[in-house]
Structure 1
Amino acid sequence: MKTKFKALTILSMTAVLALTAVGCGSASDNSASGDASKTSGKKLVLMTSADYPPYESHKTDGGTDEIVGFDIDIAKAITKDLGYDLEVKDVDFNGLLPALQAKQADFVMAGMTPKPERLQNADFSDIYYEAKETIVSKKGSNLKTPADIKGKKVGVQLGSIQEGEAKKMEGLQIVSLNKIGDIIQELKAGRIDAAIIEDTVAKGYTAANTDLEFNTIEQTEAAGSAIAFPKGSAITADFNKELKKLKDSGELDTLIKKWFDTNK
């Protein structure tokens, strides 16, 4: 989600213009209609923050390092059907929208909610998944509601929806960090008292750290995930069509079960 010798001047200018036209991916080569028939063999760059399982995380196996997850599977399905090759890049969450604005990426997927302040700087797809916020704490700490964490040190991911929600709560000592894994380590070390983390992500971290627990915060508004694009992107409409296909075919439900294990 990129002159000392007169003889070289024309060649240099040509190269710069060519690079400018190409941009970060291939969407800029297509017409404003985003016609998928013109995309075969082209590449799109997806930027994400790969510390947010099951949406995206690093999988290391035999010396290889691959970014995998719910968002990545959706991106692969959509770009494959539209005829694009896909390149995935890992960036700190708070750097995703700035990178998108700088046209270093064609789109961003990171369990991101299209809040009004984000809509000022990016276009978003339709919502593809809705989740809830939770309070993660050490077992037995009895920190279950926003009232319980008043006056406590609470960890959130920098630039996230959870950081924004924490700032609305009264009396919190907010500790903003780049990575969810760092927040969990701070919690386990006792340097923070609790963390506000999305439920599907909290499930994974508490399963891997049995000394921790999570409690769901009562929601006052929907908090769904959508795909972010540069303002005026030619591919937004095509992505929405593909998202609808994934929903209508049941493939999206299959991916939800795969990554969130909703039957447990």
Structure 2
Amino acid sequence: MTFFKHLRIAGTLLALGAGMMAASQASAQSVTDIVKRGKVRIGVLIGAPPYGSVDSTGNAIGYDADVATLVAKYLGVPMEVVQLTPPSRIPALEAGKVDFLVATLAPTPERARAVMFTSPYSAFQMGIYAKKGTPIKTWADLKGRTVGVNRGSSVEREFTNREKELNLKILRFEDDATTMQALFSGQVEAIAGPDAQANAAIKARGETETEVKFFFGMQPNSMTVRKDAYELKQWLDNVIYYIKQNGELNAISEKWVGGPLPQLPTF
């Protein structure tokens, strides 16, 4: 009886050890951990061209994918890209499915309670888009309208904060591309979104009846790590500084956004 009891305990300890090792493998917290493992898992955004989309073979392409490739180059290890939609970004990081995010994520105070952000590596203007004939010049002109927004994005709160005041009917979509499609099809009367994504969608469709009505802010975007990954965050901050200074980040901006890298805030 004692022998079998000890055998069960030993089996349990082995299983726990294997589980802890697997968790460690899945959620490396430092540069040393990642290099020892021999591969980096980076979460990138899709469904938001030009920052993130997929090509005809299903591979992630865009601003974020190119930045992630640069980061992997400086780590000196192969990269596994994990494709994520906006609502799945932080949950994937917290679950250890990725080592960090390069996923067009705004460093808001609410999010900073759960994760840590690097210095920004990109930024865009946020605007209200609608058909040319729709009389919208200010927030007040949205009163009573059906509007669309990317679920889980930082611009979502711009509508939710004004929902009661303006009697908005808010429709939420899984990504920027689907949000823009809702505007094109007439499912919504206006959308809130980033200028680069909206302009890319308008250009790709050859749309001539959709325009920006007004801009309401600038959104910087940061890489994102788990709360206790201080060393990894510091290293990523260094990489961001380096690729800003050597022109590599500007080249990515020119390639995907069609213009130079804007002045990025630091913190």
What is the Cα deviation at residue 35 of structure 1? 5.2
Would you say the 8 A contact 2:45–2:64 is kept in 1? Answer: no
Q: What whole-Å deviation, never above 9, does each CA across 1:118-137 have from its counterpart, x for those lacking one?
A: 10000001012221111121
What is the Cα deviation at residue 150 of structure 1? 2.0
Q: Which moved more, 1:199-208 or 1:115-124?
A: 199-208
- Is 1:20–2:17 an aligned residue pair? no
Choose which of 47, 51, 57 in structure 1 pairs with 2:53: 57
Structure-1 separation of matches of 2:255 and 2:16: 50
1:223 is paired with a residue of what secondary structure? Answer: strand
- Is 1:205–2:201 an aligned residue pair? yes
1:45 is paired with a residue of what secondary structure? Answer: strand
Structure-2 separation of matches of 1:95 and 1:262: 29
- Which residue does the alignment assign to 1:218? 216
User: More helix per residue: 1 or 2?
Assistant: 2
Would you say the 8 A contact 2:124–2:196 is kept in 1? Answer: yes
1:227 is paired with a residue of what secondary structure? Answer: strand
Structure-2 separation of matches of 1:135 and 1:81: 38
- Which residue does the alignment assign to 1:257? 254
Identity of aligned residues (%): 27
Would you say the 8 A contact 1:45–1:88 is kept in 2? Answer: yes
| Gapped regions of structure 1 (runs ≥ 5) | none
Q: Which moved more, 1:254-263 or 1:180-189?
A: 180-189
- Which residue does the alignment assign to 2:263? none
Q: Which moved more, 1:139-148 or 1:191-200?
A: 139-148
Q: What whole-Å deviation, never above 9, does each CA across 1:77-109 have from its counterpart, x for those lacking one?
A: 112112232111123311211221222211112
- Which residue does the alignment assign to 1:241? 238
Q: What whole-Å deviation, never above 9, does each CA across 1:114-158 have from its counterpart, x for those lacking one?
A: 000010000001012221111121232233432222221110011
Would you say the 8 A contact 2:129–2:191 is kept in 1? Answer: yes
If the length of structure 1 is used for normalisation, what is the TM-score?
0.85
CA RMSD, Structure 1 to Structure 2 (Å): 2.5
- Is 1:165–2:147 an aligned residue pair? no
What is the Cα deviation at residue 203 of structure 1? 0.7
If the length of structure 2 is used for normalisation, what is the TM-score?
0.84
Would you say the 8 A contact 1:135–1:144 is kept in 2? Answer: no
Would you say the 8 A contact 2:148–2:188 is kept in 1? Answer: yes
Structure-2 separation of matches of 1:143 and 1:87: 44
Question: What one-letter code is carried by the residue in structure 1 that aligns with 2:242?
Answer: K
Would you say the 8 A contact 2:130–2:183 is kept in 1? Answer: yes
Question: What one-letter code is carried by the residue in structure 2 that aligns with 1:15?
Answer: A
Runs of 4+ in 1 over 3 A off after TM superposition: 10-14
What is the Cα deviation at residue 13 of structure 1? 4.2
Structure-2 separation of matches of 1:168 and 1:138: 23
Q: Aligned in 2, Cα 1:127/1:167: closer, same or farther, shift over 3 Å?
A: same
Q: Which moved more, 1:69-78 or 1:12-21?
A: 12-21
- Is 1:118–2:111 an aligned residue pair? yes
Question: What one-letter code is carried by the residue in structure 1 that aligns with 2:96?
Answer: K
What is the Cα deviation at residue 190 of structure 1? 1.7
Question: What one-letter code is carried by the residue in structure 1 that aligns with 2:89?
Answer: L
Question: What one-letter code is carried by the residue in structure 1 that aligns with 2:128?
Answer: I
Would you say the 8 A contact 2:25–2:37 is kept in 1? Answer: no
2:188 is paired with a residue of what secondary structure? Answer: coil
- Is 1:104–2:97 an aligned residue pair? yes
- Which residue does the alignment assign to 1:79? 72
1:137 is paired with a residue of what secondary structure? Answer: strand
Structure-1 separation of matches of 2:75 and 2:102: 17
Q: Aligned in 2, Cα 1:144/1:53: closer, same or farther, shift over 3 Å?
A: farther
1:132 is paired with a residue of what secondary structure? Answer: strand
Q: Note the 1:133-172 alignment, pairs <5 A.
A: 133-169=126-162, 170-171=165-166, 172=168
- Which residue does the alignment assign to 2:35? 39
1:114 is paired with a residue of what secondary structure? Answer: coil
2:259 is paired with a residue of what secondary structure? Answer: coil
What is the Cα deviation at residue 14 of structure 1? 4.2
Structure-1 separation of matches of 2:197 and 2:185: 20
